[in-house]
Amino acid sequence: MILVSTMRCIVRSCLEPPADPVTPSPSHAQTLVQWLRFLRWPNLVIIAATMSLVRYAVIEPHLALPGLFAVSTAGFVVMVISTMLIAAAGYVANDLVDQKIDEINRPGRVHVGRLISADGANRLAMFLFVASALALIPLLWTTGFEWWEAVFPLSGAGLLAYAYGLKCKPVIGNLVVSVLSALIPLLVFYAERPGLHVDSLRPVTILVWGYAAFAFATSLFREVIKDLEDVKGDEIFGCSTLAVIRPGAADRLARATLALIPFGLVTFLVVIDAEVLAALAALGLVGLPLGLAARALWPRGIHPRETYARISLWTKLTMLGGLALLPLLAGG
């Protein structure tokens, strides 16, 4: 009954934006675009793409029995949907908590209070978390409870803790997001690990863990950069990120993390004995945007907000480049 009531509230009233007699109502297309931005649709697509590439580009060629995955196709779809729902819930909760801060840092991208009321955002976040848990039930029935399935509720708890407190703690909030980013490929790997051919277990493990390390490092770097970008609003509302309380230390952490990424990538390519084509692809897909981010960050000291915004964009492109590189490395 509680879930039904929540769904009715979301559909009828909670999702209705606050009344504004001055601003004209947006068209249905504009509203849809706003909702997609609110739920961070590019990030949700990246989550689905990451999980799919790990399963089909990395795992499938190395199955002990061709086409026989440890998790059924339906089960995998449930995993993807549940992960996307948890992530979307975290985005909603984060926007709800950061409403006032975002009015300063990102005035053109504030959705809570405009697209949706604060009460509606709170109910929507709760609904998405509950929906992600309910989506897992068929998976539990078909596989029996496995330890990796505990990652889903723990991830939800981590996102809530981040949104409601850890985000404003030095480094801890950055680490939480980075760890959760690294867990996405690992979740698929450990779910499908029983179906791997014994001879392929070691190389596939190295590849997936290498990509997870890349996801962790790039996420950590981008989180620190975003904190440096958002110092103004965070400082006004008492959000004590490392960039607020020790901006010099945040700058050094960003530089150190940035330096580790190419070093780690080159080391990884040597360890897996990557082919020349894969190495050249890594240079273009990852090295180019990462180099542009490094060039913008290289002058020491604190930079204007616009510079950090560009670095954040280049880092996002670096992440996408790493994702595009994954099938090439798997096929090597």
Q: What's the pLDDT score for residue 2?
A: 41
- What's the pLDDT band for 190 if we cut at 50, 70, 90? very high
Q: What digits encode the pLDDT tens for the residues 232-270?
A: 888 888 889 999 999 999 999 999 999 999 999 999 999
Q: What is the mean pLDDT of residues 284-292?
A: 95
Q: What's the pLDDT score for residue 25?
A: 59
Residue 97: is it exposed, middle or buried by C-beta count within 10 angstroms (0-12/13-18/19+)? Answer: buried
- What's the pLDDT band for 3 if we cut at 50, 70, 90? very low
Q: In terms of pTM, does the model score above 0.85?
A: yes
Q: What digits encode the pLDDT tens for the residues 199-215?
A: 999 999 999 999 999 99
CB 92 within 8 A of CB 132: no
Q: What's the pLDDT score for residue 113?
A: 81
DSSP 129: H
* Rounded Cα gap, residues 297 and 172, in angstroms: 23
Taking only Cα atoms into account, the Rg of the chain, rounded to an integer number of angstroms, comes to: 21
Q: Is 104 left (phi over 0), alpha (psi -120 to 50) or beta?
A: alpha
Q: What's the pLDDT score for residue 24?
A: 53
Q: Is the pLDDT of residue 164 over 70?
A: yes
Distances, alpha carbon 166 to alpha carbons 123, 172, 308, in Å: 21, 6, 22
Distances, alpha carbon 83 to alpha carbons 11, 76, 181, 194, in Å: 22, 11, 11, 21
